[in-house]
Structure formats: C-alpha cells, structure tokens
Amino acid sequence: MIQTIFTQPFLDQQPGTSGLRKKVSVFQQSHYLENFVQSIFDSLKGFEGKTLVVGGDGRYYNRVAIQIILKMAAANGFGRVLVGHDGILSTPAASCIIRKNQAFGGIILSASHNIGGVKGDFGIKYNIGNGGPAPESVTEAIFAHSQTIHTYKILTAPDADLSKVGFSKLGDLAVEVIDSVNDYAQLLESLFDFDRIRELLTNGRFRLCIDSMHAVTGAYAHRLFEQRLGASLGTVQNGESLEDFGGGHPDPNLVYAHDLVARLFGDNAPDFGAAFDGDGDRNLILGRHFFVTPSDSLAVLAANATLVPAYRTGLAGIARSMPTSQAADRVAAHLGIDCYETPTGWKYFGNLLDDGKITLCGEESFGTGSNHIREKDGLWAALFWLNILAVRQQSIAEIVQEHWHTFGRNYYSRHDYENLESDRAHALMDNLHGILPTLKGKQFRSQQVSYCDDFTYTDPVDGSVSSHQGIRLGFTNGSRIIFRLSGTGTQGATLRVYLERYEQNAAYHQLDPQVALRDLIDIAEEVAQIRTFTSRATPTVVT
C-alpha cells in the first residue's frame, strides 16, 4: 500500500559540492531522509517506469536508508531499481552502472572521506543519467522543493532482501540486486593492459601495498589486485568494509593514511602504495619513500597517457579544479590541447566530458578521473599508474623527477584548518573580500600581486555561471595563494589555503615543499590574518 505522509520542511537541506552531508543523528530524525528523497523525486520529470541505481559506501545507516529509498522509489513510480549487493556500491561503480544500463539516474549514499559510525557522518547525493553528480540547476531545484515540502510517498512493505544477488518486487517496482564489483571491474579491464600489469605484479621483484581503509573498496581491491592481477594475498590491507571504517578516518592523505605512509617511507618499503577513501573515488599514490601530489599525479598521467590502451590515440583535453596546481596546464600546452580551469566539485567536469572537450580531469583533493565514467575514480588511478610503471620499468620517483626535469616543478601544498567556528571562518573570508580591491600591485616580501579576485567560472558548454568559488592571489612570477571554505564537512567550517610556486631550475627540485613555499605561507598569514580570525597557530592537516 502506498502511503502519503504529512511532514514539515527542514531548513538545512542545501546540498553542498557533493550532496547533502550531516551527522548520522540528523538523518535519523523523523522524516529527514524521506523529505530529501522526496525532494529529489519532485525535482525530476519523466522517470515513471525508468531505472534508478542505488547504493552506498557501507557506512553506518546505509542499510536503513536504502530500504527507505527503495520503498519511496516504488511509491513514486520508478519501474526498476538496481541496487548493490548488501547495499554496497562505490561511487565510481555506481557511475559505471548508471551509464552501462542507461538508467534515469542514481542515488549514492556516502559522506566520502568523512568519518563514519553511529556518531559519524552520513550523506546522500543524486547522480543524473550521464553517471555524474547533479549540476547546480538540479541541486538548487532539490533544495527549493525541500523548503516547501508537506508530504512524501512511501510504500508499506517488508524490507527487500539485499543479501542475495537476484530479483524481487516491492509493489510494482522491480528490485534487482547486482554484484557490486563485476560491471565496474570489466570496465577497468577494458581500459588498461591487465596482462602487462599482471606481469609486473608477479615478477617476484615488484611489491605492492593497497590500503582500503576499511571502506568500500575492499571487495573491489581484492577482486582486481589479488584475484585478477595475481598480487599476493595480503596485498590489500584493511580490506573488510566496516560501518565505522574500523574507527579510522577514511581520507587518503598523508595524515589519515598514516599506516600506509609509514610503510612506504620505512625500511624495506614496497615499490608502490595506494589508498582510497570511504566511497572509493579518491586516491593516494606513493612510491618507495616518495609522495605523488594529486596535482602532479594528474600531470604525469596526462604526459604518459598514450602508454595506456584506452588513451593510446591521445587526449582531447584536460581539466583541473581552480585550486589544483598548474602542472597539468604545462602538459596540455606541450601536447597542444586545451586545459580547463573549473570550480571545485566533480560536477563541473561533466559537461566538458560529455561534449568531448576533455579526456582526463582531476582535483588537488586526491581525485583523478577520465571519460570512462563521470566521477573521480581511485582504483582507476592506481591501475593507470601501474600500467605506466609496467611499460616504463622505472620507479615512481624516477618517473616524477623526469617529469619535473621536462616541465619544471610546481611546488604545491594545501593547509587545512578544520572544525573552525563558522562565524570566525566567514569573518576571515569577508575581510579578504573587503581588501581585495587594495591588493593588486602590492609587494609582499619577494612577491608582487599581479591579480586578485573571487573566481567565477563560465561553463563553455552551456554558458552557466558559477561565482564566489574561491579567492585567488596571483603573483608576477606565477605563484598563487587561494583561500576557500570547504563544502564537504558536517560541522563547523574548514578553511583551505592553497599555495603554489613554479620552479624551472632542476637544481632546486628536491626542496621540501614547506620550505620552498615558506614565503607564500607567511604571506597567506599576513594577508588573511588567519591566527587573528581563527585563533589557530597551525593548520590541522598539511598535504
């Protein structure tokens, strides 16, 4: 029986850069999740009888939320739902399945790299028919509906059995529980030279370490690396997906992936290490005693793309988020292709990919991807690197250092000030906005400001405009400082400060980035008065 439930709006359901993220306890409020799901459906047209993809990263509340979504999809007129086995789908896998099945769209349950568990975070986002995150026009419509909602529809029925692959019915809705890994693994196998990678991993000399951080990629990594590519058992660590991620923070950076970092920088270190986040779309790439920044990773993948079967004919173009370093721009110029600068948020790459303007894209926040799906893809990035290593027969450090010798090095770092009081963080940004008109031409230590603005992006495909995307200070020597407030947290505010300096002279390519960027770090403090506004002497995380 379909029920119509009366409700009242929640005023805090504005989606961020990656959907709606809140504490689990917020989503557990009566009607909270239901209101947002109904707002998604109310903002869409023409889905009656169509296919919806549903899955999540396995964090706490995932199973409960999926049952609610299935019953609401049945009540609202969807014809079929494809749902991952046990409710599990990585974000890249969900994008793959939406595209392969020409689904109307998908609902992905994840708070990405945020903490999980009963007291942790939860998230939900809608992906459109191209497999990518909903554009602003859709998320704004969802939010508008959430502010006026008074009823939602849900089917009264027993829960669907998600423990077995197969078919069932919820009212008139066909529910198909699918293997969470198969379609995605087949797609990856079509892109890379698996035979050559397998030869590398089984030659007895190359050692690999994969850290799934007790998040969604465990099953995917076991299937791909240990079963398909022949890596030894135990290569995949923390491979059991847990609702609280084992008490860890599933963010693949130098701070939270500390066990992997210690191993790759320790004695008798493996040749290659990779870690992935909660929903599998972010990646950390490490060589023996060597960290590859996400910005450098995008640039190196682009420069070596023709070594990989899927990209052998070359790249149409590259895109990067505005705060990501300009290393990829130099590769694009060398290749004679365009490089697009977009706001932070993977949704901004969708139009460029769909229009064939770009092949590769990436963000400094440990995300890289290509036109094979419409999400960033952690396992894809690791396989791309392994394919390059298998062909070039060099270490990661050798490949990156040769890249610097050819293109120069873009020294780069991000300083995060997490869990700030929101009013203090916004006061800092308001102050920066106020002084922007006075900064052009000013001299700070060895740097002179050549431009300063609040980044605005005009989409070259549909002409849509996105403003207030981050404050940029550019200097006459090409260095940059960028200030943004993050849209991925669930409490307080996170200030991100991005620092970049280009160095062409190979004699200066081995500096510690924090040393190479010291002037910019000091200038950022002087200009933004970070300590004054936040009462923080140091950042929480430095990457």
- Please give the C-alpha separations between residue 535 and each of 514, 531, 540, in angstroms, as whole numbers: 21, 5, 12
Q: Cα separation of 192 and 136, whole Å? A: 33
What is the dotted CATH code of the domain comprising 409-542?
3.30.310.50
Candidates 339, 340, 341; CA nearest to 322 is 341
CATH class of 2-179: alpha beta
Listed residue (373, 459, 389) closest to 188, CA to CA: 373
Q: Where are the domains of the chain?
A: 2-179, 184-407, 409-542
Closest C-alpha to 346, from 14, 15, 17? 17
What is the CATH code for 184-407? 3.40.120.10
**What 3-state class would DSSP assign to 21?**
strand
Residue 168 CA to residue 158 CA, distance in Å, equals 12
Cβ neighbours of 355 (radius 10 Å):
14
Cα→Cα distances 465→66, 224, 355, 460, 468, Å: 34, 40, 17, 10, 10
Report the candidate in 99, 2, 98, 96 with the shortest Cα–Cα distance to residue 52. 98
Cβ 304 vs Cβ 278: under 8 Å: no
pLDDT of the chain, 543 residues: tens digit per residue = 999 999 999 999 999 878 999 999 999 999 999 999 999 999 999 999 999 999 999 999 999 999 999 999 999 999 999 999 999 999 999 999 999 999 999 999 999 999 999 999 999 999 999 999 999 899 999 999 999 999 999 999 999 999 999 999 999 999 999 999 999 999 999 999 999 999 999 999 999 999 999 999 999 999 999 999 999 999 999 999 999 999 999 999 999 999 999 999 999 999 999 999 999 999 999 999 999 999 999 999 999 999 999 999 999 999 999 999 999 999 999 999 999 999 998 999 999 999 999 999 999 999 999 999 999 999 999 999 999 999 999 999 999 999 999 999 999 999 999 999 999 999 999 999 999 999 999 999 989 999 999 999 999 999 999 999 999 999 999 999 999 998 655 567 999 999 999 999 999 999 999 999 999 999 999 999 999 999 999 999 898
Is 450 in the active site?
no
Indicate the residue type of 528. Answer: A
**Nearest residue to 305 via CA among 376, 391, 221:** 391
**Contact status, residue 371 vs residue 353, Cβ threshold 8 Å:** yes
Under 8 Å between Cβ of 298 and 339 = no
Whether residue 304 contacts residue 388, with contact meaning beta carbons closer than 8 Å, is answered with yes
The pTM assigned to this predicted structure is: 0.95
Alpha-helix residue ranges (DSSP H) falling in 149-288: 182-191, 194-201, 218-221, 258-264
Catalytic residue among 39, 95, 110, 112: 112
- Residues paired with residue 211 on neighbouring β-strands, in sequence order: 237, 275
184-407 has the same fold as 2-179: yes
CA distance 97 to 447: 49
Sign of CA dihedral 190, 192, 197, 199: positive
CA pair distance 419, 536, nearest whole angstrom = 11
User: How far, in Å, CA of 268 to CA of 357, rounded?
Assistant: 44
Q: d(Cα 155, Cα 78) in Å, to the nearest integer?
A: 12
Q: How far apart are CA 514 and CA 504, in angstroms?
A: 17
Q: CA dist 143 to 33, 351, 374, Å?
A: 13, 22, 23
